[in-house]
Amino acid sequence: MSGNTFGKLFTVTTFGESHGPALGAIVDGCPPGLPLTEADLQRDLDRRRPGTSRHTTQRREPDRVKILSGVFEGVTTGTAIGLLIENTDQRSKDYGNIKDQFRPAHADYSYHHKYGVRDYRGGGRSSARETAMRVAAGAIAKQYLASQGIAVRGYMSQLGPIEIDFQSWEAVGENAFFCPDPERVAELEAYMDQLRRDQDSVGAKITVVAEGVPPGLGEPVFDRLDAELAHGLMSINAVKGVEIGDGFASVAQRGSEHRDEMTPEGFLSNHAGGVLGGISSGQAIVAHLALKPTSSITTPGRSIDVHGNPVEVITKGRHDPCVGIRATPIAEAMMALTLMDHLLRHRAQNADVSVATPVLR
Amino acid sequence: MSGNTFGKLFTVTTFGESHGPALGAIVDGCPPGLPLTEADLQRDLDRRRPGTSRHTTQRREPDRVKILSGVFEGVTTGTAIGLLIENTDQRSKDYGNIKDQFRPAHADYSYHHKYGVRDYRGGGRSSARETAMRVAAGAIAKQYLASQGIAVRGYMSQLGPIEIDFQSWEAVGENAFFCPDPERVAELEAYMDQLRRDQDSVGAKITVVAEGVPPGLGEPVFDRLDAELAHGLMSINAVKGVEIGDGFASVAQRGSEHRDEMTPEGFLSNHAGGVLGGISSGQAIVAHLALKPTSSITTPGRSIDVHGNPVEVITKGRHDPCVGIRATPIAEAMMALTLMDHLLRHRAQNADVSVATPVLR
Amino acid sequence: MSGNTFGKLFTVTTFGESHGPALGAIVDGCPPGLPLTEADLQRDLDRRRPGTSRHTTQRREPDRVKILSGVFEGVTTGTAIGLLIENTDQRSKDYGNIKDQFRPAHADYSYHHKYGVRDYRGGGRSSARETAMRVAAGAIAKQYLASQGIAVRGYMSQLGPIEIDFQSWEAVGENAFFCPDPERVAELEAYMDQLRRDQDSVGAKITVVAEGVPPGLGEPVFDRLDAELAHGLMSINAVKGVEIGDGFASVAQRGSEHRDEMTPEGFLSNHAGGVLGGISSGQAIVAHLALKPTSSITTPGRSIDVHGNPVEVITKGRHDPCVGIRATPIAEAMMALTLMDHLLRHRAQNADVSVATPVLR
Amino acid sequence: MSGNTFGKLFTVTTFGESHGPALGAIVDGCPPGLPLTEADLQRDLDRRRPGTSRHTTQRREPDRVKILSGVFEGVTTGTAIGLLIENTDQRSKDYGNIKDQFRPAHADYSYHHKYGVRDYRGGGRSSARETAMRVAAGAIAKQYLASQGIAVRGYMSQLGPIEIDFQSWEAVGENAFFCPDPERVAELEAYMDQLRRDQDSVGAKITVVAEGVPPGLGEPVFDRLDAELAHGLMSINAVKGVEIGDGFASVAQRGSEHRDEMTPEGFLSNHAGGVLGGISSGQAIVAHLALKPTSSITTPGRSIDVHGNPVEVITKGRHDPCVGIRATPIAEAMMALTLMDHLLRHRAQNADVSVATPVLR
């Protein structure tokens, strides 16, 4: 209820501050009998890990995850899975001035009003560091989904002003940007290099796609699959917008253009992004998310302190100039967690259902 | 769990099909002592009601709501509030052909795969008719929020290709489009008249704004206020995208531009849309939503039947050529329900908190 | 969250006051395709209905239930099922003195402190009248459970000082007490006649049994099947104690006596009441519940009014001298709802599980 | 949903197997600003810890708890509190025969049918070892409740056939049995010594009392305070019965005897156990729970193996001959968690309520 849990049947509850001793999660509801090792989780954690290129924060966290329960002799037992990542790169530093000041566009000011107290070291609970546990938990969901023929993958579709067309999944894995077009990577690198010289940051757009999803996932009327995806994706730090399928482009479309016609050979288009009436249609689920530019820049900004006095704030430290660059594995995790939860929810109520109607793709 | 409930502390559970005997809702968790009458709910229901202009469906439903419990001697008692709207305009008609066919871009196909059976009359549970109960429940939330100085209002910010700038709240109430600029209304009417002649439909964009929200609402990390708003707004029929504040425009922004600086006199901008780190900042909460063009058009479309055979479908009946026109009260309701829920959630945990720091707007 | 919902996957949300216009419920999560009519619900409602013998309250409510949604062409559709019972026997009477006084051992005093306001007519929300909706919802659960070979039945095992041994299920249906021994009915009638003459009330003990439950239902560690049964049964008005299997008799037992040994032919005893480690074992689930004597008696009692002044209270009206007499269908309903919920919860996570080990009974 | 979470606003989610690397919990929803140290949790953990007298298991676990998040500079921050206890006394032993056999009256058989796989070492998740995390989390609840003037304490009220009257809280803390009568301790010791010689086990009855609870806690109709207490207490390993107030004794009582009359000086009795209509009355909350004799005895018992073949089972190892002896801190924890949750739930909805009526005790 205090927001540290995601999902209803396949649930993930997390804890941990950026500068505390550890991050952790409890994954509950995982079906028993699923082969699972720490290496399965580490793969995605390594994709999210900071410090792997010059374009992300130079903070170095190995993000080594341990499975503390719920797995026995290499398979899940159906009981709660405890996960732990110890924080190692906690530089001792002087937080004296940050303690009583609010960094503009950070959570400092809103957390202060909410709780009265806060762990001001590196953002505490509001730090994007918590997303490490999302990725670890998401990897468990991905593992089960894969066993059902469902693949969840994402890529960067825009960096600042640079729009990127999808070329191939292979390309995505071969650069630090999750860029799906190998010919655009040099342009992205040049842009980022200039950005750092400008001491500024920039936003990004990420696209996530789930293929192989059976028709029928999602619950009318409030827990439609698209509504739950929007919830999960918007809960990622810095996300300011979510689209399913054509999203905001639908506003200017006509019905005769938007509707995805069907033939026995399949759907003729996928403007809907794989969701009809809030329920998966069997087509690929497609979502886009907008990430704002991080506010942790060294250009001074106007703000106030806890007493209401004006101050000038410079956010030093090791920050990502574009948080979107490392966001792809996080977005994949949130989509995987949402689909996993809905797979179980659908199964609970509708396990007996079988129809003769063919599944279109 | 099957998706008919919204909220965690202030909860709304609804039932009802478009062509069944009635729609209903149970609103749970309302604070006691709130003055409430059926007329308070009817006001918003009348704003959403079909058949009030030539630009919406000509189906005529009075949508007369009854309060069956939870209110005694004019005030809420704190117990569950039962609401009921009887359906009256259920034309008997021949559903023979629609029964076994899937209308393109409707929920027919996905519901069929989910449940095996479905109430095919007018969309059944997937009909936008269910949103009447959202509006009724939202009116209760608005009533309480108003008592706390919080106002939730919306307007149409784009109709098809026509973008509309906000001019005044007064204008919004004076036309059938919830258009905030009186000088654009004639243009909208002309567009809609042409659309009907084209036998087509179109999308729309709605903007919802909450003013007077105290800082501190929203729960890290998964139930951020923006994530929950995205959930609620995306759960409305036909919505394909949700933005908070600058939304997708943030992608191309720089951090030095996006961050909302603070001075003792207040925030200098509101790119964030009133949410920092997932927690309300005290500024106006601003959300935009994209509604797709309805698929219920009389232009024939290709589809299949339950046996997988190709069919041609024409959707007759009385449909809205732009579902966005009546969506403003629904969007307001979902934002009000979300804020109401978070007000109670915040209060539960943080009732003891008080800070000396001034609230900026 | 405000307590008007029971269950997590198969959920029942109710509303209604004893003297309001109607009672209602929304049953969510019911599997689609289940044959269901109003008559299926009415059967159990008639078993609970007041005024059927001289030993229960003479208030006459037909308790005629309507299904408003979620059932189409005779089968459930998987969407929310709306239920409604209109109140008809609301005698207008003078509540002048009851309004500001607290009847001893009633909810008046605690509700007053909780909410500040309350519907004082006949107990309002705290009246046992709300249990009608539990019975209606429970009948849906029973219908599905029956399709899976599970039967839930109850009987009166003690009335005041009179303990009753189980003789047959046939006997239970043939008297107004749900007494399983036909030879004890005359004794019960004589006891009740004397009780009325004494203007007093008395407690009762009810036993509920579920047969045919598969092994595996219940969730470690907090939502054990016995814990959830205790929750459901203790939530019934007037219940003060719940036992599973041998219950409090286990305190004085030794392990060598209590443990239910197993052979290939089955369990040798059922001290556990069908639950091992919180999970159903395949044996009959057996629960007992203690109901207190109703406090609505005409013998004057000492109390206070809302100002703290001493008053003498006499509870007039039409009340059950032993609320336990009509409690059997309610207890069955709560056990059925609990099992139904756990059947779906188990299925969600463990649908893939199959073991070769035989099921013992 | 898979049962590893307790509470709705103040929630505890736990993980951990008896022979895994660690136990853990996440406590969510704790109000910020509460002073909290690891020592505050350790106190109750030490009261539950095994191996402190010859009457409990000789397994030696220091049960040293670490706080990993949610506490900063000595006070809670309002964010999720991560707790960890590492397992240290995991004797390597041969589980060869236990692996495929079901110990009678243990969870082995029901877990096997539920999950197909299980961690058979020492009971895995079904081991009472998980209750350590309940005690740790309960200590946080107790800390907050104490700040509100609420004290939760328990004692042993019966050991096997020996009933114990309450004499003083001081006595409870001075012996290994939580026995409230110092003059009975020698008798209990003699009984236990004989029991060990008999190679048998026995049940016990525990009583838990909460004083200082304000009137108004509990939610009609399904989440009454007594129903939620029953849930929490029955979820403790080995518990087979729960009573509130007079419990099963109410069955034979008359209304004129059971009802607790009120005067301006206070209630005249407390048969109700502090709960009226499911809502706290302001009197002491009193609950009793029955614990069965543990099934882990060295006397051979008949059972089957996973193939359905008959086997003879002897449960060796270090087990408590009366699990009730260490159950008092666990019962206190579950009552504290339940009250804490309801305190927040009540506050969320009814923060505005204030009445002039005096609070009776």
Report the complex ipTM: 0.97
**Beta strands per DSSP E along D165-227:** 204-211
Tens of pLDDT along C340-357? Answer: 999 999 999 999 999 999
Beta bridge partners of A163: A158
B1-57 pLDDT tens trace? 799 999 999 999 999 999 999 999 999 999 999 999 999 999 999 998 877 788 887
C interface test, pick of A140, A347, A355 with most C CB neighbours within 10 Å: A347
User: Could you report the per-residue pLDDT of C165-220, keeping only the tens digit for each?
Assistant: 999 999 999 999 999 999 999 999 999 999 999 999 999 999 999 999 999 999 99
Q: Select from B133, B2, B80 the least CA-distant residue to C5.
A: B80
Amino acid identity for residue C223 in this structure:
D
Contacts with A360 from chain B: Cβ below 8 Å: 109, 304
Contacts of D among chains (3+ CB pairs under 8 A): A, B, C
Burial C194-220 (b: 16+ CB within 10 A, else e): ebeeeebbbbbbbbbbbeebbbbbbbb
| Structure tokens, A47 | 């994709």
Asked if D297 and C360 come within 8 Å (Cβ–Cβ), the reply is: no
Chain C, 328 to 347: residues with Cβ < 8 Å from chain A are: 344-345, 347
C100 at the D interface (CB within 8 A)? no
* Cβ(D32)–Cβ(B350) below 8 Å: yes
Q: What is the pLDDT of residues B234-286, one digit of tens each?
A: 999 999 999 999 999 999 999 999 999 999 999 999 999 999 999 999 999 99
What backbone torsions phi and psi does residue B191 show, to the nearest 5 degrees?
Answer: -60, -45
Q: Which of B10, B8, B145 is nearest to D8 (CA)?
A: B8
The secondary element (H helix, E strand) that includes residue D83 is strand D81-86
Tell me the C-alpha distance between A98 and C335, whole Å: 56
Tokens describing residue C147: 């399709």
Euclidean distance between CA atoms A177 and B196, whole angstroms? 46
Exposure of B146 by Cβ count < 10 A (0-12 exposed, 13-18 middle, 19+ buried)? Answer: middle
Phi-psi region of D215 (alpha: psi -120 to 50; beta: other; left: phi over 0): beta
Distance in angstroms (rounded) separating the CA atoms of residues D297 and D323:
12
Tell if the CB–CB gap between D349 and B30 is shorter than 8 Å: yes
What one-character DSSP code corresponds to residue D99? G
Measured CA to CA, the distance from residue D122 to residue D128 in angstroms comes to: 10
C79 to chain A, any CB pair closer than 8 A? The answer is yes
Chain B residues with beta carbon closer than 8 angstroms to that of D144:
none
Q: Across chain A, what does the average pLDDT equal?
A: 94
The binding site of D for FMN consists of 125-127, 237-238, 277, 292-296, 318
Taking the Cβ of residue D294 and every Cβ of chain C, the question of whether any pair is shorter than 8 Å is answered with yes
Q: Which of residues 151-180 of C touch D (CB under 8 A)?
A: 158, 160-161
Contact list, D107 vs chain C (CB under 8 Å): 220, 276-279
Count Cβ–Cβ pairs < 8 Å, chain A vs chain B: 432
Residues 6+ apart with CB under 8 A from B192: B55, B159, B321, B322
**Rounded Cα distance, C48 and A34, in Å:** 47
Helix (H, G, I), strand (E, B) or coil at B311: strand
Nearest to B130 among A221, A282, A299 (CB): A221
Q: In angstroms, what is the C-alpha Rg of chain D?
A: 21
Q: Indicate yes or no: CB of C251 within 8 angstroms of CB of D14.
A: no
Interchain CB distance below 8 Å, C125 and B82? no
Task: Give yes or no for residue D139 having a pLDDT over 80.
Answer: yes
Contacting partners of chain A (3+ CB pairs under 8 A): B, C, D
The residue among B118 and B251 whose pLDDT is bigger is B251
Residue A249 burial (C-beta neighbours within 10 Å; 0-12, 13-18, 19+): middle
B118 touches chain A (CB under 8 A): no
In terms of Cβ atoms closer than 10 Å to its own Cβ (0-12, 13-18, 19+), residue A66 is middle
Confidence band of B315 (pLDDT split at 50, 70, 90):
confident
pLDDT band, very low/low/confident/very high, at C53 (cuts 50, 70, 90):
confident
- A186-210 mean pLDDT: 96
Q: Which neighbouring-strand residues pair with A15?
A: A24
Kindly determine whether residue B268 and residue A160, on different chains, have CB atoms separated by under 8 Å: no
- Tell which of A135, A226, A276 to mutate to test the B interface (max B CBs under 10 Å): A276
- Inspect the interface and report whether the beta carbons of A32 and C79 lie closer than 8 Å: no
Q: Quick count: other Cβ atoms within 10 Å of Cβ D94? A: 7
Residues comprising chain B, all counted? 361
Q: How many Å lie between the alpha carbon of B171 and the closest alpha carbon of chain A?
A: 22
Interhelix angle for C328-350 vs C131-147, to 10°? 50
Residue B32 to residue D78, Cβ atoms within 8 A:
no
Q: Where residue B94 falls among pLDDT bands split at 50, 70, 90?
A: low
* Closest by Cα among A296, A143, D234, A227 to C221: D234
C-alpha triplet C331, C336, C339: angle, nearest 5°: 125
Q: Per-residue pLDDT averaged across A313-340, rounded?
A: 91
Other Cβ atoms within 10 Å of C111 Cβ, number: 30
pTM for this model (two decimals):
0.97
Between C308 and A91, the higher pLDDT residue: C308
- How crowded is the C-beta side of D136, counted as CA atoms within 13 Å? 29
Judge whether D178 and D116 are in contact, CB under 8 Å: no
Give me the amino acid identity at A250: S
What share of chain A has pLDDT > 90, as a percent? 86
What's the CA gap between D103 and C276, in Å, rounded?
11
Residue among C30, C78, C350 whose CB faces A78 most closely: C350
Do the chains contact at C79 and B21, CB–CB below 8 Å?
A: no
Binding residue per annotation — B54?
yes
> Binding site residues of D for NADP(+), as ranges?
48, 54
d(CA B51, CA A219): 29
Query: Which positions 199-258 of B are in contact with A (Cβ < 8 Å)?
Result: 200-205, 214-224, 226-235, 237, 239-248, 250-258
What is the spatial distance between Cα D145 and Cα D337, in angstroms, rounded to a whole number?
10
Residue with tokens 């329960």: A69
Both tokens of D122, joined, read 């020492």
Cα–Cα separations (whole angstroms), residue D274 to A61, A130, C311, D284: 53, 43, 21, 5
Q: For residue D297, which of D285, D311, D315 has the smallest C-alpha distance?
A: D315
Question: Which amino acid would we find at residue A37?
Answer: T
Work out the average pLDDT over D299-312.
Answer: 94
Q: d(Cα D53, Cα D43) in Å, to the nearest integer? A: 17
Chain C residues touching residue D353 (CB < 8 angstroms): 114-116
Give the count of beta carbons closer than 10 Å to the beta carbon of residue D265. 10
Tell whether the model's pLDDT for residue B341 goes beyond 80: yes
CA-wise closest residue to B25 among B47, B1, B41:
B41
Summarize pLDDT for D214-264 with one digit per residue, the tens: 999 999 999 999 999 999 999 999 999 999 999 999 999 999 999 999 999
Is the pLDDT score of D315 beyond 80? no
- Collapsed DSSP state (helix, strand, coil) of residue A97: coil
Please state the φ and ψ torsions of residue A325, each to the nearest 5 degrees: -65, -35
CA-based R_g, chain C, Å: 21
Give CA angle at A193 (A188, A195), nearest 5°: 95
- Is residue C316's pLDDT more than 80? no
Give me the residue from B215, B253, B303 closest to A113, CB to CB.
Answer: B215
Residues of A in contact with C348 (CB under 8 A): 9, 29, 344-345, 347-348
**Is B295 known to sit in a ligand binding site?**
yes
Burial class (CB in 10 A: 0-12, 13-18, 19+), A263: middle
Please indicate if the annotation marks B292 as binding a ligand: yes
3-state class of B200 per DSSP?
Answer: coil
How far apart CA A27 and CA A46 sit, in angstroms, is: 20
Which pLDDT tens digit goes with each residue over C245-269?
999 999 999 999 999 999 999 999 9
> Residues A255-290: pLDDT tens digits?
999 999 999 999 999 999 999 999 999 999 999 999
Q: What is the pLDDT of residue C64?
A: 96
**Could you give the C-alpha distances from D175 to D53, D168, D184, D188, D319, in angstroms and in order?**
9, 12, 10, 10, 20
SS3 category, B332: helix
D5 — contact with chain C (CB < 8 Å)? yes
pLDDT at C67 over 70: yes
Asked if D313 and D301 touch (Cβ cutoff 8 Å), the reply is yes
**In Å, what is the CA distance from A346 to each residue of A277, C144, C348?**
15, 17, 8
Query: Which residue do the tokens 């990502």 mark?
Result: A320
Q: Which residues of A touch C350 (CB under 8 A)?
A: 31-32, 78
Q: Which of A32, A78, A347 sits opposite C347 (nearest CB)?
A: A347
d(CA C342, CA C345): 5
* Contact: A243, B246; criterion CB under 8 Å: no
D128 φ/ψ angles, rounded to the nearest 5 degrees: -65, -5
What is chain C's mean pLDDT, rounded? 94
CA distance A18 to C273: 49
Name every chain C residue with its beta carbon within 8 A of the beta carbon of B14: 26, 80
Torsion of CA B181, B185, B186, B187, to 10 degrees: 80
Contacts D294 to C, Cβ<8 Å:
255
